[in-house]
């Protein structure tokens, strides 16, 4: 922790790979870290804490674990669940949130808050694909939300055990103004925990960069079984990837986003990541629900507002949904708890 700073009460809602990485790094920095958990994960966290292996070595970090009522009010709340799981969780987060709690959703795809404070022709409109019943808007006060774009590569093979071999980076921004004291404070908290934190004046620009990366790789990986290296390098899949990128760039431009990276640079950077399996492909392997609503359907929803057809993207998402339903219906050996 930096000199003169005080420890924060920080809760991580979602004990997956990203959530546990944040919990460990923030705990190592001296903050009072809690993790919202249940079942076998709750027991492991209470007994062993979080075990993180990253570029600085192996760490075993004790954390407080429990339900929202037990953990109580927090200064900072990170939500690190899958986007489709958040509506069921959000109403139960109320005991963690005070009028001063900063809420940071760490989600893939288009967030439910996209149009809040955006000021365009769709100002404050909902994104039905990710918040169909308005539960998130009602449960998580938008005035307390900071936008985030998370670039942390982490894998977890067992509850509370995480490998995160690459540098940790989070980009953050206010939804309705260029900057704020709380934004700068949060960046300082993360930087003190060994996580590079960049405050952005236009968070939606960088959000579209990640949306393009996600939508051009995750559904296609489900259809093809390909790694990032195989998707991005010259070969049978590259034309499809480029077509999805171009369709999504048109949507981003329609909403005034400034995307700094071009498709060819995307291909070079993606291929350099090597034989990485996307999170959606990993979910397919385990028969878990795919994050197609936030990563795919929400982009199609935004495209429809401007009558942008996105034919290639739409077909790949449909094929991925079919594969996901097949996988979910296939009996699997029970995994040890």
Q: Which residues carry out catalysis?
A: 210
Please name which of 189, 250, 245, 195 lies closest in space to residue 215, comparing C-alpha atoms: 245
Where b means 16+ CB within 10 Å and e means fewer, 267-298 reads beebbeeeebebbbbebbeeeeebbbbbbbbb
Sign (positive or negative) of CA dihedral 212, 215, 216, 218: positive
Cβ burial of 214 (10 Å; 0-12, 13-18, 19+) is: buried
Q: Where are the beta strands (DSSP E) in the chain?
A: 9-13, 32-36, 50-54, 57-61, 64-66, 76-79, 102-105, 146-151, 155-158, 161-164, 169-174, 196-199
Q: What DSSP string runs through 254-317?
A: HTT----S-HHHHHHHHHTT-SPPPHHHHHHHTTPPP-HIIIIIHHHHHHHTTT---HHHHHHH
* 3-class SS of residue 135: helix
Could you tell me the strand order of the sheet in which 50-54 lies? 57-61, 50-54, 161-164, 155-158
């Amino acid at each position: 922790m930096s000199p003169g700073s005080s420890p924060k009460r920080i809760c991580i809602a979602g004990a997956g790979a990203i959530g546990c990485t944040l919990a460990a790094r923030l705990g190592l920095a001296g903050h009072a870290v809690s993790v919202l958990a249940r079942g076998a994960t709750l027991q492991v966290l209470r007994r062993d804490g979080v075990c993180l292996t990253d570029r600085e070595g192996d760490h075993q970090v004790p954390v407080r674990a429990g339900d929202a009522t037990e953990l109580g009010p927090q200064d900072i709340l990170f939500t690190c669940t899958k986007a489709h799981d958040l509506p069921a969780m959000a109403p139960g987060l109320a005991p963690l949130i005070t009028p001063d709690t900063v809420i940071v959703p760490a989600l893939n795809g288009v967030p439910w808050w996209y149009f809040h404070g955006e000021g365009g022709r769709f100002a404050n409109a909902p994104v039905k694909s990710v918040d169909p019943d308005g539960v998130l808007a009602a449960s998580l006060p938008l005035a307390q939300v900071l936008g985030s774009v998370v670039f942390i590569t982490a894998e977890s093979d067992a509850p509370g055990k995480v490998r995160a071999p690459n540098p940790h980076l989070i980009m953050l921004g206010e939804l309705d103004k260029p900057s704020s004291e709380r934004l700068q404070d949060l960046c300082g908290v993360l930087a003190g925990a060994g996580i590079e934190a960049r405050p952005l004046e236009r968070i939606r620009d960088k959000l579209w960069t990640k949306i393009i990366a996600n939508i051009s790789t995750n559904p296609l990986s489900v259809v093809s079984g390909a790694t990032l290296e195989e998707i991005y390098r010259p070969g049978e899949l590259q034309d499809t990837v480029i077509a999805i990128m171009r369709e999504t760039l048109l949507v981003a431009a329609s909403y005034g986003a400034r995307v700094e990276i071009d498709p060819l640079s995307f291909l070079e950077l993606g291929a350099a990541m090597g034989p990485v399996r996307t999170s959606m492909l990993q979910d397919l392997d385990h028969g878990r629900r795919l994050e197609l609503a936030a990563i795919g359907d929400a982009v199609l929803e935004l495209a429809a507002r401007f009558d942008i057809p996105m034919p290639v993207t739409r077909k790949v998402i449909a094929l991925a949904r079919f594969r996901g339903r097949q996988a979910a219906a296939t009996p699997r050996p029970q995994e040890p708890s």
